[in-house]
Amino acid sequence: MFGHETLSDPLGTPYPGDQAMGQAGDATCRALIADYVGSPYDTSEYTFWYYTPDAGTWSFLRRVDCALGNAERSMQPPGSGRGSGR
């Protein structure tokens, strides 16, 4: 995991739907990966996966979590992706 962000929707608001959660996850992690890795997502060798609330957890969860992965799905070089510029 390389980052997370709390969504601004207050508790009690209706679940916005899977498509909206996907858009929120993508936008959040796309922005955070550039800060974490040190290069824009579009030129990075890394990819990300996001985890967002779903209809069952929306009543108590407002957080997007971002996980870092290798876009080639090959072995990672040793060490962290943080600040690598890759």
CA gap 45, 30 in Å, rounded: 13
As a whole number, mean pLDDT of residues 27-38 equals 93
When the pLDDT of each residue in the chain is averaged and rounded to a whole number, the result is 87
Residue the block writes with tokens 């890795």: 37
SS3 7: coil
State the number of CA atoms in the 13 A half-sphere of 28 facing the CB. 24
**What Rg, from alpha-carbon coordinates, does the chain have?**
14
CA gap 38, 28 in Å, rounded: 16
Tens digits of residue pLDDT in 52-75: 999 999 999 999 999 988 766 555
